[in-house]
Amino acid sequence: MEETVESMKGVQLTNVNNSKAVFSDAARIFGSLLSRNRVVLALLYQFVKLLSCVNLIAQLMFLTTYFRQYLAIRMTRTHVQCTLPITEIYEKMFTFLDVCLAAITILNLVLWVGYLFLPVLRECRIAAHVNAAKGSRPDEHSLTRLINNFLGIDGILVLFMIAWNSSELVSAELTQQVY
């Protein structure tokens, strides 16, 4: 996938005639790759994101249990002594950063699951790509056939990655060639 995304990034710098040939070749290769696997890549991608979320939550739990022993308010008969070791400051800082990172990662996981596994979001995005490249709204039946029978979830993932890492125009042009 990395090679596909990188090659599609470079197509923006070529001239119009050369880019048509590149998009045509890319669509042909893209089609041959999609005939084998249709969901494996997307599931692996989501699994890695899920592992990242689990890792962040485990770190948060570790920080709170490990540093809890250093939080202390010591009472004696004559006075109250509050100890504020440097580890408490580190705990607060790392906890805040970990909570922020976990929230962003979980939100990202939910968004990608929505983009890949909710038909409404998939169809809207692919229809927008075809519309941008073709100039008119695609036929609903042929769009559904393209998504379900040809692209599959892996194809949608690759197109979204190309759009995310190069540009929406490159992804739209490749989608049009595949369409």
Structure tokens at 26: 């890319």
Q: Which residues on neighbouring strands pair with residue 68, listed in sequence order?
A: none
Residues 155/158/162/168 CA torsion (nearest 10 deg): 40
Residue 79: its pLDDT value, please? 56
List of long-range contacts for 11-20, beta carbons under 8 Å, 24+ apart: 11/166, 11/170, 12/166, 12/167, 12/169, 12/170, 19/173
Q: Dig out the tokens for 112 from the structure.
A: 């990608």
Q: Taking Cα atoms as reference points, which of 112, 118, 149 lies closest to residue 38? A: 149
Pairing of strands 72-75, 80-83: antiparallel
Render pLDDT for 22-76 as a digit per residue (tens, 0 to 9): 777 777 777 777 766 678 888 888 999 999 989 988 888 887 777 666 554 444 5
**Residue, of 81 and 5, whose pLDDT is higher:** 5
Q: How far apart are CA 103 and CA 153, in angstroms?
A: 25
Tokens linked to 65: 């249990």
Q: What CA–CA distance (Å, rounded) separates 38 from 154?
A: 5
Helix/strand/coil for 1: coil
**Under 8 Å between Cβ of 50 and 108:** no
Q: Residue 74 is inside which H or E element, if any?
A: strand 72-75
**pTM of the predicted model as reported, rounded to 2 decimal places:** 0.71
Listed residue (67, 101, 105) closest to 87, CA to CA: 67
Which tens digits make up the pLDDT trace of 129-174?
888 766 777 788 888 888 888 888 888 888 888 888 888 888 888 8
**101 or 60, which is more confident:** 101
Tokens of 18: 């050369």
